[in-house]
Structure 1
Amino acid sequence: MLHTQGPLLSIDVGARETTTESVDDVLADFVGGRGVATALAHDRIPFDADPFGPENSLFLATGPMQASQMSFTGRMSCTGVSPLTDGLFSSNAGGFLSRNFVGAGNAVVEVTGGSDELVAVHVREDGVTFEEVPELAGAEVPAVVAYADEEHGLPAEHTACIGPAGENGVRFASIMTSESRAFGRGGLGAVLGAKNVKLLTFDGDADPPVEIPSVSMDVHREAATADNIMKQQGTTSVTDLANESDALPAYYFAEQSFAGAEGINGDRVEEKKYKKGTCSQCAFACKLPTRDDATGVETEGPEFETVMSFGSNCGIDDIVDVMRANKLCDRFGLDVISCGDVVAGYLDSEDAFGDADLVRETVEEIAFREGVGDTLAEGIDRAHEELGIDNWTVKGMEFPAHDGRALNGQGLSFATANRGADHMYATFYAYEYPLVTQDQAFDPDGLSDEKAEKLVELENLRAVEDCGVVCRFSRDFMTPDRFEELFEADYESLLNVGGRVVELERHFNNQRGFSRADDRLPYEIDGLETALDTYYDTRGWTDDGVVPSVGGGSSAAAD
C-alpha cells in the first residue's frame, strides 16, 4: 500500500527540544495524513488531557499524494483534542503549505508542551529553531504572515499561524495557512494559542521517496478540462439548490430557506470574483478570490458555508456584508461556520437579525473576548443558556448548512460524526440533493438500513481521502479503481483503513465519556434510533455507541 515516507518530528515548545523517530509501522498501516495523526494521537495524548494543557499535542501530517503533481492534493491535516468538542479532532486545510511541509523532510510533526513566551517555530530540512516574538502578541494574521516574509524570507505558503482569537482561547479559533486558508473547525487554533505558539514555518527541498502511479496525471488532465460550475462559483454554486430543497438554515435555524438567497448566491459571488484561485498543484481551481470595488473589501471566498452562517442564518441578504464578515474571520483566525452561527444566535437573542454592523462588531468582540464576545467565544453549547437560545450543536460543534431536517441522511451523519456537526465527515448531502448520478442517489426523506450502511462506507472513504490526502471535490474523478491504482491496494482494504481511523477517534472519545447519548440532534428525524442501531451494528460497536477495547494506534490495525 502506498504511504507517506519520513520520520515523526516531535517539538516540545516548553523545553525547546526536538526529537525524531521512525513511525514506519504506523505509516504502513494508516497511509498518512489524518490516519497517521489519529493513530499517533491515540497513543501519545492522555485520554484525560485538558485541551488547553501542555499534555495535549497537535499533529500536522500530509499524505503520499503530496509527492505528486495531481490536482486535489494541496491539503493536509491537523489533529488534537478540541477545546470546542472535548474530543479527538482532525481539521483539514487547503492552500499551499502541504508541499513546503513535505520539503522540510518529515512525515508528521508533533507540537507538544507549552511555552512561557510567545514563540515562532521554524522547521527546516536541517533542524528546528525557536524564536521569541513578543512583538507579535495580538497581531492579526496578515501581520504575522508579513513578519515571516520580511524577517525570514518565507511567504504565506510556508506559514501556519494564529490570530488574536487563538491567543485569546476562543474555542473555535482557526490555524491559518497561506494567509486565507484555515484548519478551521474544532478550535485547534486555541490549542496552539495555549501553547503560546504564534507561528510555525516550514521550508526545505526534501524530495519524498514516493513513486506515484501514472493514473494521477489522468485525474489531473480531467480536472483541468472539466466543465464544472465550481470553477466559477466554488461551493456557493449549491446555494440555490439548497434553498429550494429547504436545506438552507436561516434566522438561527428557525427556518430552512431564505427569501434573500438571491442576494448571497453563487451568481452574486461570481460577480465579485476577480481572478482564479486554487490550491497547490490543482487545476480544478474552485477557490474564490473576491473583491467589491465600491467598498474596497477583498477576501478569499465566501464559500457556501459562510454564505449560510453569516448570510441566511444572520438574516443578511447582501453578499458584500458576508464578504466583510469572512474577511474579519480570516484576519482574526476564526472558524467562519462556528463564528457565524454564534453571531446568529446572539442576533436571535437581541432580535437583531439583518444588522450587518452588529455582526462585524460582534466578530471583533469574540476575537478579543471583549464584552459579550467573552461569552460567545465559548461557543453555542456553553453559551446558549445565558443567551436564552436553543442549543444548535452536536458534540459541542455548531452546524453547517445542508439541513438534516430536509436531508435526513445528512442529519444521521451529523449525529454520528466523531467531529460533531460536520458536513465534510461523510458528505452524505451530495447523495440527497443529489450532486451525484441518479443511480448513486438517495431519497432525502427518511432513514433506512441502506442509508446507515452507506454512511459507514462514506465515513470510511472520507477518512481514506484525508489519509491520502485528496480533496473532497475530487468525487467526480476519483473512482474506486483509481483509488486502487493510486494507493496500490484493493478498494475494500482502503475502506478498512478508513474504518480503523474512525474507530480510533471513537475509541479515544469513548474514554473521555462519549457515547450514544452524544449522537443526538436538536430536532427529530423519524427512525433515527433504529438507524443508529444499524450504524453501530455495521461498525461492530456496542448498542451504546462504544468501541470495544482496541490496542494502540499502530496495533489497532491487527485487531
Structure 2
Amino acid sequence: MLHTTGPLLSIDLDAQTTEVEEIDDVLAAFIGGRGVATRLISDRVPFDADPLGPENRLVFTTGPMQVSNMSFTGRMNATAVSPLTDGLLSSNAGGFMSRNFADTGYSAIEFAGVSDDLIIVHVTDEGVEFEVVPDLEGATVSETCTYINDEHGLSAEHVACIGPAGENLVRFASIMTTEERAFGRGGLGAVLGSKNVKAVTFTGDSRPDIEIPASQMEIHREAATDNHIMKRQGTVAVMDLANEVNGLPSYYFSEQSFEGVEGINGDSVEAKKYKKGTCSACAFACKLPTRDEERGVETEGPEFEVAMAFGSNSGVDDIVDVMKSNELCDELGLDAISAGNTVAAYLAAEDEFGNRDLIWDVVEQIAYREGVGDDLAEGIDRVAADLDVENWTVKGLDFAAHEGRVLHGQGLSYAVANRGADHMYATFYSVEYPLVDKDEAMPPDGFDGKPERLVERENLMALNDAGVVCKFSRDYMNPERYEMLFDAEFEALLAVGGRIVELERHFNNQRGFDRDDDRLPYDLDGFEDALDAYYDVRGWNHDGTIPD
C-alpha cells in the first residue's frame, strides 16, 4: 500500500529542543495525513488533556500524494484536541504549503508544550530555529506574512500562522496558510496560540522519493479540460439549488430559504471574480479570487458555507458585504463559518439581521475578545443560553450550510461525525441533492440504505484525508483509480479509513463522548433507528461507544 515516508519531528516548545523518530509502522498502517496524525495523537496525548493546555499536541502531516503532480493534491492536515468541540479533530487546508512541508523530509511534525515567549518556528531539512518575535504580538495574518517575507525571504506559501484570534484563544480561531487558506474548523489556531507560536515556516530540499503511478496524469488532464461549474463559481454554485429545495439556512437557522439569494449566489460571486485561483499542482482551479474596486474589498471567496453564514444566516443579501466579512476573518485568523454563524446568533438575539456594520464590528470584537466578543469567542455551544437562542451545534461545532432537515442522510452525518456538524466529514449532501451520477444518488428524505452508505462515505473521506486527496476530486476518482494510485484493493483502503474514524471515536469516548452527543437540534422521523443501524454497521455499542 502506498504511504508517505520520513520520520516524525517532535518539537518541545518548553525546552526549545527537537527529536527525530522513525514511525514506519504508523505510516504503513495509516498512509499519511489525518490517519497518521490521529494515530500519533491517540498514542501521545492524555485522554484528559486540556485543549488549551501544554499536554495537547498539534500535529501537521502530509500524505504520499504531495510528492505527485496530480490535481487535487495541494492540501495537508493538522490535528489536535479541539478547544471548540473538546474532542480529537483534524482540519484540512489547501493552498501551496503542502509541498513546501514535504520538502522538509518529515512525514509529520508535532508541537508539544508551551513557549515562554511569542515565537516563530522555522523548520528546514537541516534543523529547527526558534525566533522570538514580541513585535508581532497582535499582528494580522498579512502583517505576519509580510514580516517573514521581508526578514527571511519566505513567501506566504511557506507559512502557517495565526492572527489576533489565535493569540486571544478564540475557540474557533484558524491557522492560516498562503494568507487566505485556513485550517479552519475546530479552533486549531487557538491551540497554536496557547503554545505561544505565532507562525511556523517550512522549507527544504528533501522531498521524499515516492513513486506515484502514471495514472495520476490522466486525472490531471481531465481536471484541466473539464468545463466544471466549480471552476467559475466554486462551491457557492450550489446555493440556488439549496434554496430551491428549501435547504438554505437563513436568519440563524430559523428559516430554510432566503429571499435575497440572488445577491449572494454563484452568479454574484462569479461577477466579482477577477482571475483564476487554485492550489498547488491543481488544474481544477476552483478557488475564487474576488474584489470590488469601488468599495476596496479583495479576498478569496466566499465559498458556499461562508456565503450562508455571513449571508443568508445573517440576513445579508449583498455579496460585497459577505466578501468583506470573509476578508476580515482571513486577516484576523477566524474560521469564517463559525464566525458567521456565531455573529448570526448574536444578530438573532439583538433582532439586528442585515446590519452589516454591526457584523463587522462584532467580528473584530470576537478576534480581540473585547466587549460582547469576549463571550462570543467561546462559540455558540457555550453562549446560546445566555443569548437566549437555540443551540445550533453538534458536539460544540456549529452547522455547515447543507440542510439536514431536508437532506436526512446529511442530518445523520452531522449527528454521528466525530468532528460535529461538519459537512466534509462524509460529504453525504452530494448524494442527496444530488451532485453525483444518478446511479449513485439517493432520495433526500428518509434513511433507507443510508447508514450503510454513510459508513462507506466516512471511510472514503478519511482515506482522502490520509492520502491527501481533495474531496472535490469526486467526479474524477473511482475505486479503480484509488487502487492504481495507492497500490491496494479498494476495500483495504476503505478499511484504513474505517480505522481512522474508529480511533477518533475511541479517543472521544475516553473524553466522555457517547450516544448523547450524536444528537441534532431538530427531530427527524426514524432518526433513532437510523442511529442504531449506523452503530450496527460500525460494530459499535448502541450507546455510541467502541466495544472493549
Q: Which residue of 2 is the match for residue 518 of structure 1?
A: 517
Matched, 1:151 2:180: no
Q: Deviations over 1:12-32 (max 9, x none)?
A: 111101000000000000000
Matched, 1:507 2:501: no
Q: Which residue of 1 is the match for residue 11 of structure 2?
A: 11
Matched, 1:209 2:209: yes
Displacement after TM superposition at 1:446 (Å): 1.0
Q: Deviations over 1:414-452 (max 9, x none)?
A: 00000000000000000000000111111101112x101
Q: Which residue of 2 is the match for residue 546 of structure 1?
A: 545
Q: 1:378 is paired with a residue of what secondary structure?
A: coil
Displacement after TM superposition at 1:528 (Å): 0.7
Q: Deviations over 1:161-212 (max 9, x none)?
A: 0000000010000000000000000000000000000010000011312000
Q: Which residue of 2 is the match for residue 424 of structure 1?
A: 424
Q: Which residue of 2 is the match for residue 253 of structure 1?
A: 253
Aligned residue identity for 2:20: T
Q: Which residue of 1 is the match for residue 526 of structure 2?
A: 527
Matched, 1:486 2:485: yes
Q: Which residue of 2 is the match for residue 382 of structure 1?
A: 382
Partners of 2:175 and 2:376 lie apart in 1 by 19
Aligned residue identity for 1:496: A
Matched, 1:372 2:372: yes
* Aligned positions of 1:176-187 closer than 5 A: 176-187=176-187
Aligned residue identity for 1:333: G
Q: 1:247 is paired with a residue of what secondary structure?
A: coil
* Aligned positions of 1:82-121 closer than 5 A: 82-121=82-121
Partners of 1:45 and 1:26 lie apart in 2 by 16
Q: 2:311 is paired with a residue of what secondary structure?
A: helix
Partners of 1:13 and 1:151 lie apart in 2 by 22
Partners of 2:257 and 2:437 lie apart in 1 by 25
* Aligned positions of 1:5-84 closer than 5 A: 5-84=5-84
Partners of 1:341 and 1:357 lie apart in 2 by 16
Partners of 2:525 and 2:207 lie apart in 1 by 53
Aligned residue identity for 1:541: W
Partners of 1:280 and 1:439 lie apart in 2 by 32
Q: Deviations over 1:486-532 (max 9, x none)?
A: 00000000000000000000000000000000000000011111011
* Aligned positions of 1:77-476 closer than 5 A: 77-448=77-448, 450-476=449-475
Partners of 1:547 and 1:146 lie apart in 2 by 47
Partners of 1:218 and 1:372 lie apart in 2 by 52
Q: Deviations over 1:446-488 (max 9, x none)?
A: 112x101000000000000000000010000011100000000
Superposed structure 1 runs of 4+ greater than 6 Å apart: none
Q: Deviations over 1:339-372 (max 9, x none)?
A: 1000000000000000011000000000000000
Displacement after TM superposition at 1:116 (Å): 1.1
Partners of 1:456 and 1:526 lie apart in 2 by 20
Q: Deviations over 1:199-226 (max 9, x none)?
A: 1000001131200001100000000001
Q: 2:50 is paired with a residue of what secondary structure?
A: coil
* Residue segments in structure 2 that go unaligned for 5+ positions in a row: none
Q: 1:202 is paired with a residue of what secondary structure?
A: strand
Partners of 1:11 and 1:152 lie apart in 2 by 21
Partners of 2:286 and 2:513 lie apart in 1 by 36
Partners of 2:427 and 2:547 lie apart in 1 by 26
Q: 1:276 is paired with a residue of what secondary structure?
A: coil
Q: 1:439 is paired with a residue of what secondary structure?
A: helix
Q: 2:440 is paired with a residue of what secondary structure?
A: coil
Aligned residue identity for 2:533: T
Q: 1:460 is paired with a residue of what secondary structure?
A: helix
Partners of 1:474 and 1:502 lie apart in 2 by 21
RMSD value, Cα: 0.5
Query: TM (normalized to structure 2)?
Result: 1.00
* Cα pair 2:392 2:521 within 8 Å, conserved: yes
Partners of 1:336 and 1:265 lie apart in 2 by 17
Q: Deviations over 1:251-275 (max 9, x none)?
A: 0000011010000000000000000
* Cα pair 2:104 2:207 within 8 Å, conserved: no
Partners of 2:447 and 2:347 lie apart in 1 by 33
Displacement after TM superposition at 1:375 (Å): 0.5
Partners of 2:46 and 2:76 lie apart in 1 by 24
Partners of 2:207 and 2:115 lie apart in 1 by 32
Displacement after TM superposition at 1:133 (Å): 0.4
Partners of 2:13 and 2:115 lie apart in 1 by 5
* Cα pair 2:84 2:186 within 8 Å, conserved: yes
Q: Which residue of 2 is the match for residue 554 of structure 1?
A: none
* Cα pair 2:215 2:485 within 8 Å, conserved: yes
Q: Which residue of 2 is the match for residue 552 of structure 1?
A: none
Q: Which residue of 2 is the match for residue 555 of structure 1?
A: none
* Residue segments in structure 1 that go unaligned for 5+ positions in a row: 550-559
Displacement after TM superposition at 1:246 (Å): 1.2
Aligned residue identity for 2:385: E
Aligned residue identity for 1:488: D
Q: Deviations over 1:87-111 (max 9, x none)?
A: 0000000000000000011000001
Q: 2:176 is paired with a residue of what secondary structure?
A: strand
Q: 1:114 is paired with a residue of what secondary structure?
A: coil
Partners of 1:451 and 1:548 lie apart in 2 by 23
Aligned residue identity for 1:504: L
Taking only the aligned residue pairs, the percentage that are identical comes to 68
Partners of 2:360 and 2:515 lie apart in 1 by 38
Partners of 1:350 and 1:136 lie apart in 2 by 35
Query: Which moved further from structure 2: 59-68 or 439-448?
Result: 439-448
Aligned residue identity for 1:321: D
Displacement after TM superposition at 1:548 (Å): 1.9
Partners of 1:520 and 1:246 lie apart in 2 by 22
Partners of 1:243 and 1:486 lie apart in 2 by 38
Q: 1:179 is paired with a residue of what secondary structure?
A: coil
Q: Which residue of 2 is the match for residue 553 of structure 1?
A: none
Partners of 2:350 and 2:538 lie apart in 1 by 44
Partners of 2:314 and 2:343 lie apart in 1 by 7
Aligned residue identity for 2:296: G
Aligned residue identity for 2:541: T
Q: 2:439 is paired with a residue of what secondary structure?
A: coil
